[in-house]
Structure 1
Amino acid sequence: MRQTDSAAVTLYVCATCRAAGDVSEPRAGARLLAALQEAVSAGGHPGITVESVECLSVCKRPCTVAVASQGRWTYVYGDLDPVASAGTILDGVALYAETPDGIVPWKARPQEFRKGVVARIPPFSPPLPPTFPPPVAAPPHPDAAE
Structure 2
Amino acid sequence: MSDPATLYVCTTCRSPDDAPDGPRGGARLLDALRAELAAHPAASLRIEPVECLSVCKRPCTVAVASADRWTYVYGDLDPVASARTILDGLARYAGTPDGIVPWRERPEAFRKGVVARIPPFPAADAG
Q: Same fold (TM over 0.5)?
A: yes
Name the SS for the 2:29 alignment partner: helix
Q: In the TM superposition, what are the counterparts of 1:1-146 in structure 2 within 5 Å?
A: 4-6=1-3, 8-20=4-16, 22=18, 23-129=20-126
**Letter of the structure 2 residue corresponding to residue 68 of structure 1:** A
Per the normalisation by structure 2, the TM-score is 0.93
**Letter of the structure 2 residue corresponding to residue 103 of structure 1:** I
- RMSD over aligned Cα, in angstroms? 1.4
The percent identity for this pair of structures is 65
Question: Aligned equivalents of 2:117 and 2:96: distance in 1?
Answer: 15
Which of 1 and 2 has greater Rg? 1
Structure 1 residues not aligned, in runs of 5+: 132-146
**Letter of the structure 2 residue corresponding to residue 16 of structure 1:** T
1:72-129 deviation digits (Å, cap 9, x = unpaired): 0000000000000000000000000000000000000000000000000000112124
Structure 2 residues not aligned, in runs of 5+: none
Residue in structure 2 matched with residue 137 of structure 1 by the alignment:
none
Aligned length: 126
1:39–1:87 contact (8 Å) kept in structure 2: yes
Could you tell which deviates more after superposition, 35-44 or 48-57? 35-44
- CA positional deviation for 1:43: 3.1
**Letter of the structure 2 residue corresponding to residue 43 of structure 1:** H
**Letter of the structure 2 residue corresponding to residue 119 of structure 1:** A
1:19–1:60 contact (8 Å) kept in structure 2: no
1:45-91 deviation digits (Å, cap 9, x = unpaired): 22111100000000000000001110000000000000000000000
Question: Aligned equivalents of 1:21 and 1:13: distance in 2?
Answer: 19
**Letter of the structure 1 residue corresponding to residue 94 of structure 2:** A
